[in-house]
Structure 1
Amino acid sequence: MGRYRKCIYPKLSPDFEALLSSEDPNLIIVGVIGKSLFEDCNKLAGFNILDVAPSLLSHEAKEGQITFYHKPGEEILFVHFETTFDNYCVEKLLHEWINSGQFEQFMIFNSEVKTRFARSLLFATHICHVVVLVETGHSFDPFYLSLFKSMKVLREKHVAKFLPKMAKASSLPLLLGKEARLCCPRFIFFFENFPDEEGTGKEDISKFEFQVEDNIYKMLRNDFIIMNNTAQSLFSIPGNKRFVYFNTDKTLREDPLIKSIKYLEHTLNLGVFDEEAEMDELRPFTNFGKPINHYKNEDLSDVFVEKKREFMPLLRDYAKEALEVGFDDSLSKFKGKSHFVILSNKQWYETFCFFHKVFITNAEDPNFDTSDLDYKTYLETFQTIINVDYDFFASCCDPGLKKAISHYNSAKVQHYGFAYHKVLLDESINVYRKNFQSQEKQHINERIIRETCENIWRQGRQQCEYFSLRNNPCVLPKHSSHDLSDHSSGVVFVSTCNCGRIQGRREDPYTIYQANFEFYQILYKNCGSCQKSLKIDVPVFTPSITDYRAAEVADSLANMTLNQPDETQYLSQPITASQGSHENLSLVSVNAINRIDEDSSDASLNDLDQDEQHVYPSADTATIYRQPSTTEYLPGMVHNESPQGLLPQFSSWSLLCVGPSSLYSHSTGLLEHFQSGFLSGANYLLPWDVQVRVKNPSNFENKSNDRRGAYRKKGAIMLKIFVGCEYECPRGHRFIMSSPDKVLNGGSGIIKDSGSKIVMNDMPLYFSCPCRTAKNMVAQLMRVHVVTPKANVNVLMEPKIRTGERNLTFSLGLSQPAKLSQSAYWILRLPYIYQGEEGPITPPTEVPSNNAGLFGCLVGGMFKVVEGEEDDL
């Protein structure tokens, strides 16, 4: 035919030098690899692109040889691989091993054959858009499944680590992306023979091809070789195109010389030249070109036989799609995210040469060494991963090996983590050492045991072990999940609702949403007290578009702090503890707090919907200093380094008014029907006596006798506020602390401790629970109780949590302190887990009482008292 040119890499002909130095991105790369029964090792016979029959080619086949084929003006460049799966190459390799005395047993030789083929195939999947896998028979070889699985492990575990680094450090184009390959290549399965027992009609052939396609697809999906996300797949197959082709031409490999000799003999024997017969040989089908009356009495269905089936139209259809839109074989939510690139001819050839060195040349050089540990590990473990079956058969030949592997397989648990795997592995090694027979092979066999047990564990027994927010590993089998809520540690805790009335069992959280919001919403629906309680809402993200997303908080933004108002505008003097058991606070008018900077944004919580179930801060105190974003939300929680203008998706806090101050009786403490789970004697709030000067005496005239919690004294007002810092352990035990280092003990019913110790000091975020358990449980500060006095004052609350790790300070996110109403019982529920932009902060597993504050604290001075107006009463 004389239309396709070829050359053998790396010696390029002038035509290919010109082609592969072009800057035009117009070539679709098609790799041809697989099996061949013939000495020429050529697998392109069925493509109908060769100049002459393969048997007449002057070509010396060689394992590892790569040949380029291209037709000028065509968009397809064929890359033809000669490998150890070609009969001629494997026979030649076998003779070399036998002649050199290298051949000891078949398993070792077979391991080498598979390893060499796998290198070429893995190389092809990185430099080709399409790979045609040629099979000499008419059925899919299931051996490929184990090979594909091993190659997928290699790519995920090793290639994905070293290749992007190496490509980025070289001069290769950045278009290769983080996957460092042209795309997830499509595979086409080409079968050179069609089964004789099947019908040869067009419909029969198509039906058989569809059946084979279904079978291959199911096998590849069941073994997770192809997946919904092509980025995680070794290769892909299209969902709406044929990917199996059967050649039905029986003369595909017929020797033209033998055919000519037979034809000559036939002609000589006849002694005459049949011109009509000669013309029939040249016709595409019988009676082609003859008048219709010539075969009017014949069956037309037999006369008009279709032309020979061809493979190239299918391949050109693939190339056209690649040039126009690229390949996107991902499914479901990954659709539209597939990586696909067509490099310029020059860039592709540079990539080809570089990858050939990485995958082939360096691997076959016994003296090659590298400083890249990931690449070095890949080279060292390649043959072991590809030849898992070799280790299996080797273990069957040694009683010690067999007993060791049997011991490992006798594990009673179905799935387990690395620690238990290590214990089983050490036990198996000890079993082998008691039963081994050959001292010389002990080291080798122990390596085989380790590698075999490692494969057994990873291929079906490995536990997920993804850690929860409380540092517990997922106990499910190893699984890839993009939704963290799919994990489960199996650990269950007991926690209390927002108002403290009921308790419930909660699963170990894997997301901040589960930890700080979802669980409390579930309890809210089951707690009548929570539903009836009035609440102050904290600002959260409100989207204005459907495709909103988490903000990418840059390092420079992370160092910016929220615009915190000056505390001096709230108090005429700082809060300080007096000599006695009370504090001396100066009162200022609420109007002083409500002064708003005219230049600040007018957005406030007053814009939110209000109903009888909610109490909101005034529009002034809740003013947000900057209009929050409605397209991007804060990925973590609000803290001192959060960028301005970003709000979280949901609130991790809860601030409720559960009822009037009369709900609490200091003589009986917090009763079980009102607050569940409190330890005996640790269920009392602490009285906090506050002495303040009266700036507006008229507000308190003739009112001291009928105001609960306040009385006049020499121009000042004495307030009694009940406060409590409540801790909760994973078992649901709750207790109040009387000081930063002491749990409240109110067994006698008389509380002598003052609330000033917990108000003015930093209270630890975590403390050892006094409950009696075999293991000391770490309790966490979860609620702050406040019973406000029945006096013309307002208690302002501005809680700040400083974590020990990363030294972040978390807050409610309000621009002004929350104003608690008078003569009411308020409960602030704190977050269960704290999370910044860098991720969640894991609670400690053990907290010494003498330095509990090192792990985080509630910053002291969270309360301020201001004078109210008459309408505040």
Structure 2
Amino acid sequence: MGSVLSSRTGWESPASQSILSDTSSADALSASILAGVATERKRNLEHSFNVFLQQHIDQALGKGFDDNVGRHSGPIFFQVPRAGVWFDAVNRVYKFFMGEPSEKDTKILGSLQNLVETEVRFSDARCAKALPLAISAYKDGLPPHYTQMHHQEKLDLALNVLSAQARGPMYEDYVTQLEEACERIWQDGRMGCETLSLTGNTCKHPRHRTPNDPDDDSSLPVMTHNSGVVYISFCNCGRRQGQREDSFSVKTANHTFYQQLAESCCSRLESLHFPTFKPSVTNAKAAKVDGSEDNEMEIEGPSAVSRDSREQIDSGTPHSPGLSLVGTGLSGSMNNATGTVATRMTGEQSHMGSQVVITLTKDDTKAITKDRGIIRQASTTEYLPGMLHTASPPGLLPRWSSWSLCCLGPSSLYSHNAGICEQPGFLPGTNFLLPWDVTIKIEDRDKWPAIADTLGKKALLLKNKKNRVGDIHEFSVKIFLGVEYECVRGHRFMMATPDRHLKASPSGLVKDNATKIANADMPLYFPCPCSRGGGQLMRLHVVTPKAPVNVTLSPQVQPGPDPCPRYIPQPCSSLPVKLSASAYWVLRLPYVYVGDQGPHYPPDPRHQTPPSFARLHKGCYGISQVTLDR
């Protein structure tokens, strides 16, 4: 009704008047803002030196500017000068602008600047007052020597102080003065050593030389690197604890520290020495190795199996045992037509164990012996400069081994009720190994009963079964496995699965088994239950059974993302390590992993999702036959 009246009588309701008023005020405000912006832009353009100069140029080039024609005669303002006058004037102008001003000119220019540039004088006074405050902020809490990173952090703090106090056009000049002053302070005997340890810590010493450093600056002191960080670690077997200084070399981290502890502990134990460089000349040298890690070698070691079985293992099916199966004395050539090591998936297999089918004939043994002769011999004149991995050139060995394998004694040393004893550092409830029940089926009826007779009839239980293949000899063995981690605080713990700590009941009851840790990739780093640091995989515990089989080890650790190679204790062409029966073995892994491009650091713990690298690859554990000499 109101709209009808307003259209007919010109009367508007209060509501419509309010809406129109709000709309008009908004339009007026936006128009005012736009007009102000346009005016400001126009004012900036008008006050631009380019615009100012262009206006005079256009006027000078315009018609009638330089002629003397007019209605009334007057003085002549424009005339062509003589060449001498022109060059003299140009030289004077050039010297005035480009040359050093004279004392008289300097005094005149200073007076002119004081009279005209009031803003500059204010800015200079303000910045000059703020500069000492900024330098004091840089000096506050300075250590005796520090790195370039710390210098940059303190410089940023000083710049923030200056920017909070200084104003005006002289600010940039005083920023330059501040940077130069801080640089002089840092370089005046305060420069620290920039070398990083293999764990990422900086050397605490001032800039120096090392005893073997070819630095020509003889004024620098000679000393070894030291970050001041001390970690708690354990020996090869894990029975002795010691403090280790932060390492700056691979040999110190992976070899020297453990050798020093072994003098009072592990040296008396039976151990297996991994292949190392054996020089035949006195002037042996490091081999030149391509720095790229992209060319990873295809692993065709003794853990290789037939193509069909390898595809079954890699497929990750629920029934795949994930074992590296090795027959008696099998070498790297297992892809022949009579390949006898295979893994057969049967419906009888349970998740608690694995079934292994091993068939070995005399023809296979002859072929294996023949294949052993083609393994490339290691060089005796050149050694591998770094750690051994799958991309290392064949025939090169390191000067020392970063791995260790020792036997603590008979299998009776481990009690499944009491757990691991006489080894310090284990967190409560984590010092237990996990049982791994492996069911083995053998199709060689002539050879295995003889082995059973030599070991004793009570050593294992053989039973005959019938199936489509024929008579099968079957027996079960129990292996105890443990995947041990260490944290920097000296804590040790075992893992029950790739993503869970092992935790036994107060009475020592362990409900888990080793199937998951044997058949899956294990993380190289995992948070410690103390929640103050990350744990690193350092040892593999294996208690072998009293049976006519050998448990084998073929560890491969990938500490970085692809194309990072896998680090191994022995060349790819070597046989897997065979562990003696009825014994307690401990494999100690490297403390640091260093490649051709530098050390591999742990992944960022802030990432919630587990990385696709930094892991011990599955297939580390295997089963092989025990042979009889006939």
TM-score normalised by the chain length of structure 1: 0.48
Residue in structure 2 matching 1:727, options 471, 479, 485: 485
Shift of 1:547: 2.8
Give me the identity figure in percent.
Answer: 40
Q: Superposition pairs for residues 678-757 of structure 1, below 5 Å? A: 678-694=426-442, 695=444, 696-701=448-453, 706-707=458-459, 710-714=460-464, 715-748=473-506, 749-757=508-516
**SS of residue in 1 equivalent to 2:478:** strand
Q: Which runs of 5+ in 2 are unaligned?
A: 1-98, 108-123, 214-222, 307-325, 328-340, 465-472
Indicate the residue corresponding to 2:578 in structure 1. Answer: 819
Distance across 1 between alignment mates of 2:261 and 2:588: 13
Indicate the residue corresponding to 1:785 in structure 2. Answer: 541
1:209-263, CA deviations, whole angstroms, 9 ceiling, x for partnerless residues?
A: xxxxxxxxxxxxxxxxxxxxxxxxxxxxxxxxxxxxxxxxxxxxxxxxxxxxxxx
Indicate the residue corresponding to 2:171 in structure 1. Answer: 442
Distance across 1 between alignment mates of 2:606 and 2:457: 47
Indicate the residue corresponding to 2:53 in structure 1. Answer: none
Distance across 2 between alignment mates of 1:430 and 1:840: 36
Tell whether the 8 Å contact from 2:537 to 2:589 is kept in structure 1 after alignment: yes
Q: Which amino acid aligns with 1:688?
A: W
Indicate the residue corresponding to 1:414 in structure 2. Answer: 144
- Residue 802 (1) aligns with residue 554 (2): no
* CA distance 1:499–1:526, change in 2 (3 Å): same
Shift of 1:443: 2.4
* CA distance 1:703–1:544, change in 2 (3 Å): closer
Q: Which amino acid aligns with 2:528?
A: C
* CA distance 1:740–1:580, change in 2 (3 Å): same
Number of residue equivalences: 457
Tell whether the 8 Å contact from 1:560 to 1:643 is kept in structure 2 after alignment: no
Shift of 1:810: 1.6
Indicate the residue corresponding to 2:357 in structure 1. Answer: 586
1:651-699, CA deviations, whole angstroms, 9 ceiling, x for partnerless residues?
A: 000011111101000001012x2x2211111110000001011432332
**SS of residue in 2 equivalent to 1:546:** coil
Tell whether the 8 Å contact from 2:296 to 2:565 is kept in structure 1 after alignment: no
Distance across 2 between alignment mates of 1:741 and 1:791: 32
- Residue 561 (1) aligns with residue 297 (2): yes
- Residue 486 (1) aligns with residue 244 (2): no
Distance across 2 between alignment mates of 1:804 and 1:818: 25
**SS of residue in 2 equivalent to 1:676:** coil
* CA distance 1:594–1:847, change in 2 (3 Å): farther
- Residue 428 (1) aligns with residue 158 (2): yes
Q: Which amino acid aligns with 1:719?
A: V
Distance across 2 between alignment mates of 1:628 and 1:445: 64
Shift of 1:518: 1.0
Distance across 2 between alignment mates of 1:827 and 1:594: 33
Q: Which amino acid aligns with 1:428?
A: A
Q: Which amino acid aligns with 1:743?
A: H
Shift of 1:409: 2.8
Tell whether the 8 Å contact from 2:560 to 2:600 is kept in structure 1 after alignment: no
Q: What RMSD in Å do the two structures reach over aligned CA positions?
A: 3.4
TM-score normalised by the chain length of structure 2: 0.66
Residue in structure 1 matching 2:392, options 642, 648, 651: 642
Shift of 1:405: 2.5
Tell whether the 8 Å contact from 1:767 to 1:847 is kept in structure 2 after alignment: no
Distance across 2 between alignment mates of 1:563 and 1:581: 29
Distance across 2 between alignment mates of 1:677 and 1:524: 18
* CA distance 1:850–1:736, change in 2 (3 Å): farther
Shift of 1:702: 9.3
Q: Which amino acid aligns with 1:401?
A: L
* CA distance 1:100–1:504, change in 2 (3 Å): same
Q: Which amino acid aligns with 2:354?
A: E
Tell whether the 8 Å contact from 2:291 to 2:597 is kept in structure 1 after alignment: no
Q: Superposition pairs for residues 510-525 of structure 1, below 5 Å? A: 510-525=248-263
Tell whether the 8 Å contact from 2:155 to 2:182 is kept in structure 1 after alignment: yes
* CA distance 1:737–1:807, change in 2 (3 Å): same
Task: Return 408-417 or 726-735, whichever deviates more.
Answer: 408-417
Q: Superposition pairs for residues 664-683 of structure 1, below 5 Å? A: 664-671=414-421, 673=422, 675-683=423-431
Distance across 1 between alignment mates of 2:366 and 2:188: 65
Q: Superposition pairs for residues 323-338 of structure 1, below 5 Å? A: none
Q: Superposition pairs for residues 364-403 of structure 1, below 5 Å? A: 398-403=128-133
Q: Which amino acid aligns with 2:620?
A: M
1:725-752, CA deviations, whole angstroms, 9 ceiling, x for partnerless residues?
A: 1111111111111111111111241112
Distance across 1 between alignment mates of 2:156 and 2:271: 58
Indicate the residue corresponding to 1:533 in structure 2. Answer: 269
Distance across 2 between alignment mates of 1:784 and 1:102: 85
Task: Return 552-561 or 587-596, whichever deviates more.
Answer: 587-596
Q: Which amino acid aligns with 2:343?
A: P
Tell whether the 8 Å contact from 1:689 to 1:718 is kept in structure 2 after alignment: yes
1:798-842, CA deviations, whole angstroms, 9 ceiling, x for partnerless residues?
A: 111123333311212151111100110000001111223333222
1:40-93, CA deviations, whole angstroms, 9 ceiling, x for partnerless residues?
A: xxxxxxxxxxxxxxxxxxxxxxxxxxxxxxxxxxxxxxxxxxxxxxxxxxxxxx
**SS of residue in 2 equivalent to 1:687:** strand
Distance across 2 between alignment mates of 1:590 and 1:751: 41
Q: Which amino acid aligns with 2:250?
A: I
Residue in structure 2 matching 1:462, options 166, 169, 191: 191
Q: Which amino acid aligns with 2:585?
A: W
Higher relative contact order (Cα pairs below 8 Å, separated by 6+ residues): 2
Distance across 2 between alignment mates of 1:720 and 1:402: 76
